[in-house]
Amino acid sequence: MTAEQLDEIGRNVTGLEHLLNFRLGLRAKDDTLPRRWFDESIDSGPFKGEKIDRQQFDAMKMRFYGLTGLNGEGVPRADWHQQLALAATGFALRVELPNPLPGAPEKSMVIDEPVANVSELRGALRRYLPEAGTALDDPSWNVTVNGQMLLSGEIGRALHSGDRVQLVPTIAGG
């Protein structure tokens, strides 16, 4: 194997670790150090009197996320997530959102567990993004599947790996 191939393997391991953490409810705010490292100064050695600056730490964490292909919540960006999901679970459903939601800063996410229909997809979105429950329950969102508007029959509309689903705000006027 080449050095580049080994780097990519390591990157994918990191991506899968972050996907598992996300599934377990861990977000960027949880990706940190013990509080005392920020609050208490070191009391001996060459760094005596120093402590970690929280703002600098957060800036370095965001830089790390950007360099490694993670989004602002510490999850692989949607394109990479889709590749990892297909390799790990064999299922990847891309969901485009009308605006960033808590837990989904890219306005796009991947559901990497099989869902049979749009109704099950809504349940999976609530499990993946519990912090966005109010927004996900918004009744004014329509659903498109592969570019076709779904106006009724969410239970009957089968979904397959590779489908693209979009939540679209209802357009109303008078």
Mean residue pLDDT of the chain comes to: 92
Query: What's the pLDDT at 75?
Result: 94
Q: What is the pTM of this model?
A: 0.83
DSSP letter, residue 117: B
List, in sequence order, every beta strand (DSSP E) within the chain: 93-96, 108-111, 141-145, 148-150, 164-169
Domains parsed from the chain with CATH numbers: 3-68 (no CATH), 90-169 (3.10.20.30)
Q: What is the mean pLDDT of residues 147-171?
A: 90
Q: Is the pLDDT of residue 174 over 70?
A: no
Q: Tokens at residue 125, please?
A: 């979105």
Q: Per-residue pLDDT tens for 26-38?
A: 999 999 999 999 9
Do the beta carbons of residue 71 and residue 77 sit within 8 Å?
Answer: yes
Query: What's the pLDDT at 140?
Result: 81
Q: Per-residue pLDDT tens for 62-84?
A: 999 999 999 999 999 999 999 99
Q: Per-residue pLDDT tens for 134-157?
A: 888 887 888 999 999 988 888 889
Q: Is the pLDDT of residue 52 over 90?
A: yes
Q: Is the pLDDT of residue 173 over 70?
A: no
Report d(CA 132, CA 134) in Å as an integer: 6
Query: What's the pLDDT at 103?
Result: 87
Query: What's the pLDDT at 43?
Result: 92
Distances (CA, A) of 118 to 51, 62, 81, 99, 123: 50, 34, 20, 19, 9
Q: What is the mean pLDDT of residues 106-131?
A: 93
Query: What's the pLDDT at 161?
Result: 96
Sheet harboring 93-96: ordered strands across?
108-111, 93-96, 164-169, 141-145, 148-150
Q: Is the pLDDT of residue 171 over 80?
A: no
**SS3 state at 64:** helix
**SS3 state at 113:** coil
